[in-house]
Amino acid sequence: MEERLDRVLAHLGLGTRKEVGKLIRAGAVRVDGAVVRDRGFKLDPQRARIELHGEPLAFARHYHVLLHKPAGVVTATRSEHEPTVLDLLPNALWRDDLRPVGRLDKPTEGLLLLTTDGELLHRLTHPRWKVAKVYLAELEAPLPPDARERFAAGIAGFAPAELEVLAPQRARVTLREGKHRQVRRMFATLGTPVVYLRRERFGPLALEGLAPGEARPLFEGELAALYEAVGLEP
Ligand code: URA
């Protein structure tokens, strides 16, 4: 079924009809390879290839948002007393059926995916799929010389994890499970408590380009890679 371009883009979460109208007039949107500056242009969203600033957009039943969670915000959909990750989303990206995929502690920053797809959420957080999560940690004390080996062997009862030592008090850790406060507990066991923690990657998704508090919908390539990582079709 054909729909107006501004409606399609607004449904994708790119802004209000007025906001997406500005993007269209500015020449930021291509449909099937050609720039379209008419916001009332008719297209079939299931068939047309839509690009924003040269990046193909995903049009799917479900909706997904990538957020750079800042510190001080809770990973929940509602809270009486504290700001939640959903409160951070601009109106244009907010939907009441978005759910966070996994959890980042209140003081932890970084990449948080929100999705309306329950099956995707379930698989991304289920240990069977071993989705890699990469964290950057700054530590209160220098790491012991055997830190890498101890992470690789499995520390504090957790599954083996990769540790890349970047400086005596700075390291990148890759996990394939996601237990409560896992990174903090792992480093605490080494005697090097975490003073700053940021998630840089989640499966095929990376935080690059998003400042703390910023959010955007997924691009088509990211979406395909995400579904593929857990054996689903987008
Ligand atoms: N591990 C932690 O300790 N905290 C997080 O927020 C995520 C992983």
Kindly state which CATH superfamily the domain 132-202 is placed in: Alpha-L RNA-binding motif (3.30.70.1560)
Pocket test for ligand 1, best of 109, 125, 138, 184 (most atoms within 8 A of CB): 184
The predicted-structure confidence for 51-107, as pLDDT tens digits, reads as follows 998 888 865 568 899 999 999 999 999 888 999 999 999 887 888 789 999 999 999
Ligand 1 site residues, Cβ closer than 6 angstroms: 104-105, 108, 181-184, 197
The predicted-structure confidence for 190-230, as pLDDT tens digits, reads as follows 999 999 999 999 999 999 999 999 999 998 899 999 999 99
| CATH pick for 64-127+204-229 out of 3.40.50.150, 3.40.50.300, 3.40.50.620, 3.30.70.580 | 3.30.70.580
Q: What number does CATH give the domain 3-57?
A: 3.10.290.10
Task: Report CA(210)–ligand 1 centroid distance (Å).
Answer: 19
pTM: 0.77
Residue 59 is predicted with a pLDDT of 59
The reply to whether 64-127+204-229 and 132-202 are identical in fold is yes
Q: What is the residue-averaged pLDDT of the chain? A: 92
End-to-end CA distance of the chain: 20
